[in-house]
């Protein structure tokens, strides 16, 4: 690894740390002024952004990226306006910093207050999506955190152009321009260097595929909040309303199959499988969903002449992100809970039942970030939760679990006031 | 690394994970029954515990550990009774699991509840202190977490005897005995294996010296909550009450110099250094504290004929854990805040001042876990905060910062109830 590169990334992180101390006590008005300015600059800079984006698109075409991959990279005047609107929404959210979370007075007279404060310096490692650059910059800024952004190389020129707008907006609002910095190289060694700077950077959030997250987890000495995969289950209980079950399964599987809160796995209670599965399978097939079944499920579909294939073992823990669903028949609620706790990614799992006692056992027993009763797994989302915006959906159990909004981008500190107390 | 050892640790973690799912929904009564039983078993097993401890003490003497090190290993009937009393105190604390932290109803009718739940499986890596084994077992059990304990090799036989009592107490209360397990080998490779089992273990808490914590941080793919060092500052402001300043500095430095919340660093505002420092130095010297001064501080003490030595640069970031204090004269509040944010370990830092506006600026600007105004840094402690007991003092910013009690040993999950809602 070149000494120059190590120096470059270390200096960048030092500047981020210094900026974070200023940002931590910056007023809400000043932070919102920077966000509002950024929201103005984005559409006003459409030509420059599209020109930078064209460089990335040309590179993508030369390197034979798929059409879907290229679509994800592309900026348009409309997508730029949409990104700017997201920034305005973040500006409109309440400032999480400074909120008093607790106050107690101890018998010795010490007053102990717990106050929400920014985490400090957050490194965001993500793949090739231009909106992420601005979304993350806006959320970190509003929550008083300095951000170090490291986007995918496929979108490098676009990110440089976007980051320049953030720098301008910060400066125009009188905030340190180093509060949001893009790592100015696509060299992988820059990332490896960053992940070891644990005295300057306080948190790493990787957003992307499994191999990126695995790389970050294995190489970071900085605490990482993972946004991992969603192997999400819907369990149709013996006491399910068949129509509701169908409506929810179709929505959870097909409304947007490529996202982490889409359902991948279906469990049906054996007592109702014969009654519910054929019609449900028909509806899924009508939505072009391929069904990969266990022997019991396959036997039922076979009898009704419905298309399916035998599941391979790995299908039962798969995140397909596609119009594919694995199907199993389960003998009991307890078996369903145990299956989910073993095979799901503990992201978003649902039960469909009219039986409240059964639902309570499922909600208590399923060890997942979000557990649904009679609702689609697709609702596991910061906007749907009313958080206003999210930096992602944490699959970790420490600090933040499930949708991460502004509040989850904060830590806390204790402020203690006395009048000369000493410990005896 | 031997395949057998990997298998042994992996199997142990698998059993811990299975036990954690049972423990997560165990009743408060059952958990308290196990704790109460453990508190009975400890004094009743005094002879067996002392016999096991004697093996460790013999090993320690053979290996020429220092008297202080041997003291830390030693169990006595009195220390066993004290440990049992700690377990009873944990039993008496409120159960943190199941508490509703938030409830909202969305416009679409979805009811979203956020509920406190155990983290899952927690690995505790610690050095040679027998009380830690039982303290950690009790805190994890009460908070519904399965624990994997890995203590220092110097205390191995004692820990085996203590863990056997925990196993008996769990079984007697009808809880899974695998809920608390000691790694049954002192081989370092067992630790390295454990730290990679990120699908089974959800959190690692290292307690001990810097090299242990560094090793764990560098080798773990499981999230780590560090309990690092305390380089704690007291800043004597221009508007300090000199008597209060002396009382607090003496307490923070000398009441128990070997612990993480003891003060190591003194800053004195230049305007009052000439007036305050000589008498304060005299008091510190009377408590046998060695003073390591910057040139300005040294000049003042020199003039008054008070013993001191010139500080080396590393003294200004040192955790002495001894009767040594580094002393600097600072030109301003802003310089004091910047010095602390650069040189402290962000653990416990204090200002002494009568000026409320100055205090507010210090409390807001110092980026540390706990910031004190007119009180000793020694109060940064779970018992002093009213948490009842602590598993340590986190120096991290994610999940838990400062004293970690039962609440900080928990995560949360979202439970969502609907009546057939799907996402549009």
Mapped onto helix, strand or coil, the DSSP state of residue B223 is coil
pLDDT of residue B1: 62
A 263-322: CB under 8 A from B: none
Residue A249 touches chain B, beta carbons under 8 Å:
no
Name the residue in chain B with its Cα closest to that of A120: B397
Residue B111 touches chain A, beta carbons under 8 Å:
no
String of b and e for A325-348 (b: at least 16 CB within 10 Å)? bbbbbbeebebbbbbbbebbbbbb
Is B127 exposed, middle or buried, given 0-12, 13-18 or 19+ CB atoms closer than 10 A?
Answer: middle
pLDDT of residue A411: 98
Question: How far is residue B266's CA from residue B252's CA, in Å, rounded to a whole number?
Answer: 10
A 340-379: CB under 8 A from B: 341, 359, 363-365, 367-376, 378-379
pLDDT of residue A1: 62
Of A26-30, A151-155, A257-261, the range with the highest mean pLDDT is A26-30
> Given a cut of 90, is residue A72 above it in pLDDT?
no
pLDDT mean over A387-412: 93
Q: Secondary structure of chain A in the HEC alphabet? A: CCHHHHHHHHHHHHHHHHHHHHHCCCCHHHHHHHHHHHHHHHHHCHHHHHHHHHHHHHHHHHCCCCHHHHHHHCCCHHHHHHHHHHHHHHHHCCCCCCCEEEEEECCCCCEEEEEEEECCEEEEEECCCHHHHHHHHHHHHHCCCEEEEECCHHHHHHHHHHHHHHHHHHHHCCCCHHHEEECCCCCHHHHHHHCCCCCCCCEEEEECCHHHHHHHHHHCCCCECCECCCCEEEEECCCCCHHHHHHHHHHHHHCCCCCCCCEEEEEEEHHHHHHHHHHHHHHHHHCCCEEEECHHHHHHHHHCCCCCEECCHHHHHCCCCCCEEEEEEECCHHHHHHHHHHHCCCCEEEEECCCHHHHHHHHHHCCCCEEEEEECHHHCCCCCCCCCCCCEEECCCCCCCEEECCHHHEEEEEEEEEEEECCC
User: Using CB atoms, which residue from A110, A223, A225 is nearest to B375?
Assistant: A110
Residue B384 touches chain A, beta carbons under 8 Å:
yes
Candidates A379, A271, A263; CA nearest to A333 is A271
Determine contact, residues A409/A143, Cβ cutoff 8 Å: yes
- B247·A384 Cβ contact <8 A: no
Name the residue in chain B with its Cα closest to that of A261: B423
* Half-sphere exposure (Cβ direction) of A176: Cα atoms closer than 13 Å: 22
> Given a cut of 70, is residue A385 above it in pLDDT?
yes
Give the sign of the dihedral formed by CA A180, CA A184, CA A186, CA A191. Answer: negative
Mapped onto helix, strand or coil, the DSSP state of residue B216 is helix
Choose, out of B16, B250, B422, B424, the residue to mutate when testing the contact with A (most A CBs < 10 Å). Answer: B422
Q: What tens digit of pLDDT does each residue of B149-195 get?
A: 999 999 999 999 999 999 999 999 999 999 999 999 989 999 999 99
> Given a cut of 90, is residue A2 above it in pLDDT?
no
| Total residue length of chain A | 424
- B255·A120 Cβ contact <8 A: no
Question: How far is residue B120's CA from residue A158's CA, in Å, rounded to a whole number?
Answer: 42
The ipTM assigned to this model is: 0.95
- B241·A371 Cβ contact <8 A: no
pLDDT of residue B366: 98
Residue B265 C-alpha, separation from nearest chain A C-alpha, in angstroms: 17
Instruction: State the count of interchain CB pairs (< 8 A) between A and B.
Output: 200
Candidates A376, A412, A394; CA nearest to A207 is A394
Choose, out of A24, A119, A414, A424, the residue to mutate when testing the contact with B (most B CBs < 10 Å). Answer: A414
Determine contact, residues A276/A286, Cβ cutoff 8 Å: no
pLDDT of residue B12: 98
pLDDT mean over A211-216: 92
> Given a cut of 90, is residue A208 above it in pLDDT?
no
Residue B145 touches chain A, beta carbons under 8 Å:
no
Residue B414 touches chain A, beta carbons under 8 Å:
yes
pLDDT of residue B178: 98
B259 DSSP 8-state letter: S
pLDDT of residue A210: 85
pLDDT of residue A316: 98
> Given a cut of 70, is residue A237 above it in pLDDT?
yes
pLDDT of residue A70: 87
Contacts of A399 in chain B (CB under 8 A): 398-399
> For residue B389, what are the contacts with CB-CB under 8 A and spacing of at least 6?
B86, B89, B90, B93, B135, B138, B139, B382, B383, B405, B406
Q: What is the mean pLDDT of each run of 10 residues along chain B (424 residues)?
A: 90 98 97 98 98 96 87 94 96 97 97 98 90 95 98 94 98 98 93 96 92 93 92 98 98 95 98 98 98 98 98 98 97 98 97 98 98 98 88 93 96 98 96
* Structural domains of chain B in order of their starting residue, each with its CATH number: 3-228+400-417 (3.40.605.10), 232-379 (3.40.309.10)
* Global confidence as pTM: 0.94
Give the sign of the dihedral formed by CA B325, CA B331, CA B332, CA B335. Answer: negative
pLDDT mean over A314-332: 97
**Angle, in degrees to the nearest 10, between helices A28-44 and A46-62:** 70
> Given a cut of 80, is residue A128 above it in pLDDT?
no
* Half-sphere exposure (Cβ direction) of A363: Cα atoms closer than 13 Å: 25
Choose, out of A116, A223, A410, the residue to mutate when testing the contact with B (most B CBs < 10 Å). Answer: A223
Determine contact, residues B140/B170, Cβ cutoff 8 Å: no
Candidates A130, A135, A124; CA nearest to A39 is A135
- Mean residue pLDDT of chain A comes to 96
User: Using CB atoms, which residue from B365, B385, B418 is nearest to A374?
Assistant: B418
């Amino acid at each position: 690894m070149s000494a120059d590169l190590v120096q470059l990334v270390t200096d960048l992180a030092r500047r981020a740390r210094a900026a974070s101390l200023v940002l931590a006590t910056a007023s809400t008005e000043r932070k919102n002024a920077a966000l509002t300015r950024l929201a103005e600059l984005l559409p006003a800079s459409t030509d420059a952004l599209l020109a930078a984006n064209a460089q990335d698109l040309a590179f993508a075409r030369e390197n034979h990226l798929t059409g879907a991959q290229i679509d994800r990279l592309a900026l348009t005047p409309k997508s730029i306006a949409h990104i700017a609107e997201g920034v305005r929404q973040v500006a409109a959210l309440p400032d999480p910093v400074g909120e008093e979370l607790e106050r107690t007075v101890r018998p010795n007279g010490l007053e102990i207050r717990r106050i929400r404060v920014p985490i400090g310096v957050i490194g965001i490692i993500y793949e090739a999506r231009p909106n992420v650059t601005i979304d993350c910059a806006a959320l970190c800024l509003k929550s008083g955190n300095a951000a170090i952004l490291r986007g995918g190389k496929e979108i490098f020129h676009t990110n440089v152009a976007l980051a320049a707008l953030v720098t301008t907006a910060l400066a125009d609002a009188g905030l340190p321009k180093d509060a949001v910095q893009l790592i100015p190289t696509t060299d992988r060694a820059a990332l490896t260097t960053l992940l070891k700077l644990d005295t300057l950077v306080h948190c790493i959030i990787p957003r992307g595929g499994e191999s990126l997250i695995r790389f970050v987890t294995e190489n970071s000495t900085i605490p990482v909040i993972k946004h991992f995969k969603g192997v999400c289950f819907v369990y149709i209980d013996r006491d399910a309303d068949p129509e509701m079950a169908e409506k929810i399964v179709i929505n959870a599987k097909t409304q947007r199959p490529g996202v982490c809160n889409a359902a991948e796995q279906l469990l049906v209670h054996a007592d109702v499988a014969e009654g519910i599965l054929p019609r449900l399978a028909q509806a899924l097939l009508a939505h072009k969903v391929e069904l990969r079944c266990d022997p019991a499920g396959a036997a039922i579909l076979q009898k009704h002449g419905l298309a399916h294939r035998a599941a391979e073992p790995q299908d039962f823990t798969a995140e397909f992100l596609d119009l594919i669903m694995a199907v199993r028949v389960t003998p009991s609620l307890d078996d369903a809970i145990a299956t989910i706790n073993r095979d799901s990614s503990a992201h978003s799992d649902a039960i469909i039942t009219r039986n409240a006692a059964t639902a309570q056992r499922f909600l208590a027993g399923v060890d997942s970030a979000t557990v649904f009763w009679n609702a689609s797994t697709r609702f596991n989302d910061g906007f749907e939760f009313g958080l206003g915006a999210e930096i992602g959906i944490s699959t970790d159990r420490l600090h933040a679990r499930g949708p991460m909004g502004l509040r989850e981008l904060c830590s806390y500190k204790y402020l203690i006031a006395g009048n000369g107390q000493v410990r005896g």
